[in-house]
Structure 1
Amino acid sequence: MTVDNGDLTVEVDRVACEGHALCLVYAAEVFDMDDEERAVVLVDPVPGSLRGAVEDAASNCPVQAIRLHAQSAASA
């Protein structure tokens, strides 16, 4: 689900992450890999200009390790 206004926060399940690094292909501005070859979030909340890229990264993660949490402006 996509919310057009409000913040989008990102969480990586480090247990599920297998280090495929596809998130970097879609949103290198938001994700990086740590020393254990697991994804880490660099930018949180995500700016609106990167929202689509982060949604693509989450939907294309082969192990679904990326969770997106949208908060509408009304409930912020």
Structure 2
Amino acid sequence: MTEHLRVDRIACRAHGLCADLLPELVELDEWGYPLLATDVVPAHLRAEASAAVAACPALALRLDRTG
């Protein structure tokens, strides 16, 4: 199963928690909005990705599972 990290750019309020919790996949642009290095979440980062999704105060992150 493959997990993909998605950002709802309309809902995002640039709190930056996703980058704090998942710096391997998320960095912030100059305004504090997330930029994804890749949307595919490696198996060893699934727990961290789930934590970032759960911590997002704007509910702007989600994990989609395929396969």
TM-score (norm: length of structure 1): 0.80
Other structure's SS at 1:8 match: strand
2:12 — aligned with what?
Answer: 17
The answer to whether the 8 A contact 1:29-1:43 is kept is no
| Greater per-residue strand proportion | 2
Show structure 2 runs of 5+ residues with no match: none
Superposition RMSD in Å = 1.1
Other structure's SS at 1:11 match: strand
Match of 1:50 among 40, 45, 56: 45
Distance between the aligned counterparts of 2:36 and 2:57, measured in 1? 17
In the TM superposition, structure 1's runs of 4+ consecutive aligned residues that sit over 2 Å from their partners are none
TM-score (norm: length of structure 2): 0.89
Show structure 1 runs of 5+ residues with no match: 1-5
Distance between the aligned counterparts of 2:34 and 2:11, measured in 1? 10
The answer to whether the 8 A contact 1:23-1:61 is kept is yes
The answer to whether the 8 A contact 1:23-1:57 is kept is yes
Counting only pairs closer than 5 Å after superposition, residues 60-75 of structure 1 correspond to structure 2 as 60-71=55-66
Q: How many residues align?
A: 67
Distance between the aligned counterparts of 1:32 and 1:14, measured in 2? 14
